[in-house]
Amino acid sequence: MVRWLIGFVVALAIGAGAWFVFKSDRSASTDEVVTLSVHHFLSPASDAHRLLIEPWAQRLQEQSGGRIKVEIFPAMALGGKPSELYRQVRDGTADVVWTLTGYTPGVFPRAEVFELPSVHQGSAQVTTQAIQDRFDLIAEDFAQVHPLLIHVHAGNALQMIDRRVTHPRDLAGLKLRTPSRTGVWLIEALKAEPVAMPVPELPQALAKRVVDGALIPFQIMRPFRLQEVVGVSVEGAGAERFGTSVYMFAMNKERYEALPRDLQQIIDANSGAALAQQLGDTWDRVESAGKDLQRQSGGEIIEFDGEAMQRFQEIAQQVVDRWIDESRSEGIDGAGLVSAARAAIVSAAGQ
């Protein structure tokens, strides 16, 4: 009887182990289709939708043999405000989001280093590559999500309704749209008045002269038809920009970790460094196309001369110093981050 019981228990254990292995193998190679929702704040005509999110979704579907499907919800179609997108992906309301980190001030204090004026120079490809090369500098900011790509656009130019700006002093007293708190600081240092608003609200704000201009890249021209309301564009000497914006393409952490390993590998192969080079090049190309569109519409593009650029660099350093002081109060080595980010950008530019 004892031997029979022992045999029965052993058989049960073996059976349970075999069932567990079978179940594990099934979960790793299941044919079940996984559907991921992607939420963002721009229209389907936007470059982010057409050139980043749609191709990314198509690659995932193709490389998974149809086991990954992606449903894209542009223009906040799942509800909420652009400022809520980070919370949505962190909490799982959306599986994936693409958003501007500046819409949630204070949440990404380290990542701001790459958007500072005089740190970012003017190439989306170079700064995005620098972020990938030294992601360790900012990784703590994204600990509650699974980052797919942290990137920038080519950088902020001044897009004015009709005011010709040839020197930073020409901006005093004007109302300028800004995308982030570092943009607010820059506008304040320029003695202008910052107005924060999501980019979809900008065309109407310019048309109604709620603002006199905006810190925004040229790539926004086409999807928002800004060339119809922007008469004068301004950039730094040598096409240098007045800071940039950091964007987050990220997935809910728990959703990613629950996927079968082979599907995780497909997502990994379409994340980070694999996306950085391609997207950076794409963003620089659409920036150039936006400048062409502005010229074709009769708009003027002004480039600061040496004296004006020297004055801007002095103002930009005030913003950097303020950021370093703010970072120190939060226990972050802002000076070290600025130095490391600048070195990473120089290195990426030489690759």
Cα–Cα distance for residue pair 292/250, rounded to 1 Å: 32
213 shares its domain with 73? no
Q: Is residue 26 part of a domain?
A: no
C-alpha 322 chain-centroid distance: 23
Please count the other Cβ atoms lying within 10 Å of the Cβ belonging to residue 269: 13
Is there a contact between 156 and 145 (Cβ–Cβ < 8 Å)?
no
CATH number at residue 345: 3.40.190.170
Q: In which domain, by residue range, is 53 found?
A: 32-152+245-285
Q: Do 308 and 188 belong to one domain?
A: yes
pTM over cut 0.75: yes
Q: Per the domain annotation, does 312 fall within a domain? A: yes
343, 240: one domain:
yes
- Do 162 and 143 fall within a single domain? no
Look at residues 285, 308, 335 and tell me which one is the last residue of a structural domain: 285
Same domain? For 140 and 230 the reply is: no
**Contacts with 73 (C-beta within 8 Å, 6 or more apart), sequence order:** 37, 38, 39, 40, 94
Calculate the alpha carbon distances from 240 to 157, 158, 237, 289 in Å.
9, 12, 6, 17
Domain identity same for 240 and 268: no
| Residues 131 and 256 grouped into a single domain | yes
**Local confidence pLDDT in tens for the 351 residues of the chain:** 444 444 544 444 444 444 433 333 334 445 789 999 999 999 999 999 999 999 999 999 999 999 999 999 999 999 999 999 999 999 999 999 999 999 999 999 999 999 999 999 999 999 999 999 999 999 999 999 999 999 999 999 999 999 999 999 999 999 999 989 999 999 999 999 999 988 999 999 999 999 999 999 999 999 999 999 999 999 999 999 999 999 999 999 999 999 999 999 999 999 999 899 888 889 999 999 999 999 999 999 999 999 999 999 999 999 999 999 999 999 999 999 999 999 999 999 998
Report the Cα 152 to chain-centroid distance in Å.
6
